[in-house]
A = this chain, B = another copy of it.
Amino acid sequence: MIILNTSKIMKITVCRKAHFNSAHRLANLSWTKEKNLKVFGKCSYDNYHGHNYELIVKLTGEIDPETGMLMDLSILKKIIKTEVEDVLDHKNLNLDIPYFKNLIPSTENLAIFIWNKLRDAIKINCDLSVVLYETPRNFVEYSG
């Protein structure tokens, strides 16, 4: 028989995947065009490019014995839709999202933006982390 550290009993992580399609460009507006091109390469081109972003939202907490679930799914889905998809999908991150007016919309910064919005909106007692794929080969993980 396995003896578990009681502080870990029934802690589980639930993950939901979402996606949105956005345009952006990477550029430090205080730099010259040449320096931006040197650091960010094609990502700095003036007219924007875009991505099919994939987002994984991970909640860690205890299971509700009445439902067998960590959180009521209909609530979580609504939060992800309202806080992330409705805000970012089919938008230009640089032009449409005030948060990125003076902040580079890198995958790192975008993951933090999403984490903060979800952290404010998820009211249950749980840890939160997000994984954000910019492409299948580039992604970030953020846990606050």
Which of B16, B40, B66 contacts A138 (CB under 8 A)? B16
Q: What is the oligomeric copy number? A: 6
Tally of A interface residues using CB under 8 Å: 70
Per DSSP, chain A at the interface is mixed
Bound complex: CA of A40 vs CA of B91, how far in Å? 14
Known contacts A17-B137, A67-B28, A104-B67; is-contact A119 B2 (Cβ 8 Å): yes
Q: Is the CB of B8 within 8 A of A143?
A: yes
Known contacts A23-B23, A47-B23, A50-B50; is-contact A15 B108 (Cβ 8 Å): no
A47: nearest residue on chain B (CB-CB)? B92
Bound complex: CA of A111 vs CA of B13, how far in Å? 10
